[in-house]
Each structure stands twice: as C-alpha cells, then as structure tokens.
Amino acid sequence: MKKFAVIVAGGIGVRMGGAVPKQFLMLREHPVLWYTLQTFLAAYEDLQIVLVIPEAHLGVAKELVASLAGAERIVLVPGGDTRFHSVRNGLEWIRREVAGSVDAGVTAAAGVVGRETIIFVHDGVRCLVSADLIRRCYEQAAESGSAVPAVECPDSVRLVEDEGRSKPIDRSRIKLVQTPQTFRGDILLGAYMMDHSEAFTDEATVVEVAGHQVRLIEGEETNMKITTPTDMFIAEQMLGRK
C-alpha cells in the first residue's frame, strides 16, 4: 500500500509563552519537530510526508527539513485557519499526487486513492512517538480502515453541569486520544469533503460524522503532546533516558 503522513505543525504555541512556535523550539540537539519527522522517516522507507506549516514559517521549516536524511520524502504545505483546514490542505496535496490532477474532481480523486493507500495524521509536537506505534497504526488501519491510538485516563473525572454542579464519570470508560490517527485513503479523503464544523476536534470526529466506525488501539504513555514549558522539561528527560 502507498503510505502518506500528514504532519500538522501549524500552531503558534500560545501556551508556551514564547515568540518561537513550539514545533521549532530546541529540545536537546534539535528542534521538537525534527524528532517527529525523523521517527516517521525511519518507520517506513516508502513513506511520503506532507508537512503542514504556517506560511510565515515555511523558510525555517525548509532549513529544518534539509538537515534530515530522507528530506526528499518531505513536502511542505501551508497551514490553514484551523486544524481541520490544515489537515485538508495536506490531503489536497495527496489527492493531486495520487490522482494526478485536481481537475479530476474531489470525488474522483478520493476514489483513485481508494483502498490502496494509508494516511497518517500526526501532531508535529508529539515528538516522542515511536516507530512501533506508527507501524501498529498502519497494520490496524490496513486491516479495518482506521486506527486511533488512545491510553487509559489515570485521574478521577467529573462532568461539570449547570450552576456549578458536577458529577463523577467512570474513568474506565474514558480514553485519552493521541495521534497518529490513521485511516485508509478512501475513508479519510471522503470524510474531508465535508464543510468545517466546530465539533471537528480531530480526524476521528470527522470520520465518524461521515458515517464510519473508528477503531481504537493501545497508544503510548510517552506519546505526549508538547504544549507547556513543563512538557518540554519532561520531554528532555525522556530523550535523555533514550
């Protein structure tokens, strides 16, 4: 099967509190995003990466990509206003690559990709993802059409209701969702033909609204999303242990 990974690195990192987007912050010897790209390149030699980056930072991203062995397998695409639109921009590149021309129409292009393509969508700042998880996602998606990694919720959970009231929720029924969210090409490209909705918080949500079942697989506790300075510190320690 053909393999594509849409790596979404379109955020500006407001919660990090600095002028540099978090995907470009230095983590030991390299920027955060470097580790993510390196792991995906190592996972499969025939994997094509579509890196979605804010247009203002495309120059910095090009320099980062040039430092990687396998840079020829990475293309850069400008991000959109939301995650949904950034992912869609990446998928449009895949449609053009596989279908040959956007003039063939979105529906026809999605059909050409069909069942012979697997597409990963991953947060660029989940830089501790393992090649093993990427491969397990691929295998599950190839078998059943989708693979969404998730881990157990370790804390007690409460649902906040009106007037400040809350009630407990059985945490054994709660899963914390990660990426790479992985889908067969016809499923994901078809789902992203829909218009944007505020309810679309991730790719799994879009695919479900399009009428497909989403399959969860076991994620990794270390596959954290870097959002705050504390996350950077933790990631530094984890890389040191590696």
3-state SS, residue 77: strand
- Go through the chain and tell me how many residues it has: 242
How confident is the prediction for the chain on average, in pLDDT? Answer: 90
Give the ranges where the chain is alpha helix by DSSP (H). 32-43, 58-66, 83-99, 106-113, 131-144, 185-191, 203-209, 229-241
Chain segment 182-233, per-residue pLDDT in tens: 999 999 999 999 999 999 999 999 999 999 999 999 999 999 999 999 999 9
Residue listed under structure tokens 């989403």 = 214
How far does CA 34 lie from the centroid of its chain? Answer: 15
Query: In this structure, what token pair is assigned to residue 13?
Result: 């990192």
* pLDDT of 11 above 90: no
Domains with residue ranges and CATH for the chain: 2-149+177-241 (3.90.550.10)
The DSSP code for 54 is -
- Asked whether the beta carbons of 202 and 136 are under 8 A apart, the reply is no
What is 146-160 written as a DSSP string? Answer: EEEEEEE--S-EEEE
CA distance 87 to 78: 10
Chain segment 147-174, per-residue pLDDT in tens: 999 999 999 999 998 888 999 999 999 9
pLDDT category at 17 given cuts 50, 70, 90 is: low
Chain segment 37-51, per-residue pLDDT in tens: 999 999 999 999 999
Query: In this structure, what token pair is assigned to residue 73?
Result: 């397998």
Chain segment 71-83, per-residue pLDDT in tens: 999 999 999 999 9
Query: In this structure, what token pair is assigned to residue 236?
Result: 């530094």
